[in-house]
Structure formats: C-alpha cells, structure tokens
Amino acid sequence: MSVVQTIYLAGGCFWGVEELFRQIPGVISTQAGYANGILTTDVTYERVCQGDTGFRETVRVSFDPTVVALGRLLWAYFQVIDPTIENRQGNDVGTQYQAGIYWEAGDVGLGTIIRRIADEERARVEAQRLPFRVEVQELASFFAAEAYHQHYLIKNPGGYCHIAPLEMRTVLAALAKG
C-alpha cells in the first residue's frame, strides 16, 4: 500500500493548474481552492478577488510518490509559471494570482524536498539576474473553491487559461517520456 502525499500549488488562475496536474499519471486527485489568507469564514471567489485577503488561487494535488516523484511534479509546475513576477501569471493580475508552493504543517520531509527543489530553481532564475518571486512555505490554511471552479476546463473546454493548450500537451508529453 502506497502513501499519498499532498502539495499545494499556486500558479495563477487555478483552472489551468488543476487541469494540467489532473492529467499527470500518479496524481490521485486535484482540488481548486484558496490558500494562506487571513479569513477563516466566508472565503469566496468574489471576496478573494477584492485583493485584501492574502489568499492565493491554489490547487491541492494529492499524488502517489511511487508513481510520480515530487520532483517531476515541481518540474511541470515550473514549466507553466513565470517565477519572476509577483501577483500575476499571464493576463491574470492580482494578489490571488501570486505563485507559490505549499505543504501541510508537520510534513517536514516534504517541506525539505520542496525547499531544496525551489532553491535549485531560484539559483537558475537568479543566475539570469532575474528575481525569484515564488512563495515557498508551509500551508497556513486551505479552503475549497466553489463547485463551478472544480475541473472548470473539463466543463468549459474553451475557457480561458494562461497555460496554453499546446504548452500543457508539451509538458505532459515530456513527463510521459520520463
């Protein structure tokens, strides 16, 4: 019996991030939601979009590490975000679109691996004399997004996404090659 691990990925609008990770073999489930804000109740899309809650549009990704390694998931993540900008991905602008990688409190081992991989990415970005703007921290809170946000691009195949369909297919193909 394998152990399920969970990470939380904020990469701009959660629709595309969820759709990409949902398709990766070894990912057991995905859920769009809001992470690390200041509210404890009434966490809604409309409230988060006001820009004063601190919440990030985030996808909870539960995966089987015997099928897909955390490093492969984070590789895919860094392929579809711009780690050099703050509070924006693609055409989506606002504090809710801040990129971030989070792990559950107490999961020290997972946090250590995430920090190591993020530090490698930070070094790659900063070697190009660019700022690294991805939040890398323990998860403070997570609230599931409204039902209409869950698997949005399956329900709305023509819906907007800052991750272009070709980019998504390219990342998935590279993961399949190993």
For the residues 59-70, what does the mean pLDDT come to?
97
Kindly tell me if the per-residue pLDDT of 153 is higher than 90: yes
Kindly tell me if the per-residue pLDDT of 2 is higher than 90: no
Domain borders along the chain are 5-177
Burial class (CB in 10 A: 0-12, 13-18, 19+), 88: middle
Residue-level pLDDT at 158: 87
Kindly tell me if the per-residue pLDDT of 5 is higher than 90: yes
Return the structure tokens found at 118: 């993020």
User: Which is the catalytic residue, given 7, 9, 10, 13?
Assistant: 13
Residue-level pLDDT at 160: 87
Higher pLDDT pick, 153 / 1: 153
For the residues 48-53, what does the mean pLDDT come to?
94
Residue-level pLDDT at 1: 59
Mean pLDDT, the chain, rounded, equals 95
- The H or E element that residue 123 is part of is helix 108-127
Pick the CATH number of 5-177 from 3.30.1060.10, 3.40.190.10, 1.20.1250.20, 3.90.1300.10: 3.30.1060.10
Kindly tell me if the per-residue pLDDT of 89 is higher than 70: yes
Residue-level pLDDT at 59: 98
What confidence category does residue 178 fall into, taking pLDDT thresholds of 50, 70 and 90? confident
pLDDT digits (tens, 9 = 90+) for 12-28: 999 999 999 999 999 99
49 in active site: no
For the residues 27-33, what does the mean pLDDT come to?
98
Rg for the chain (alpha carbons), in Å?
A: 15
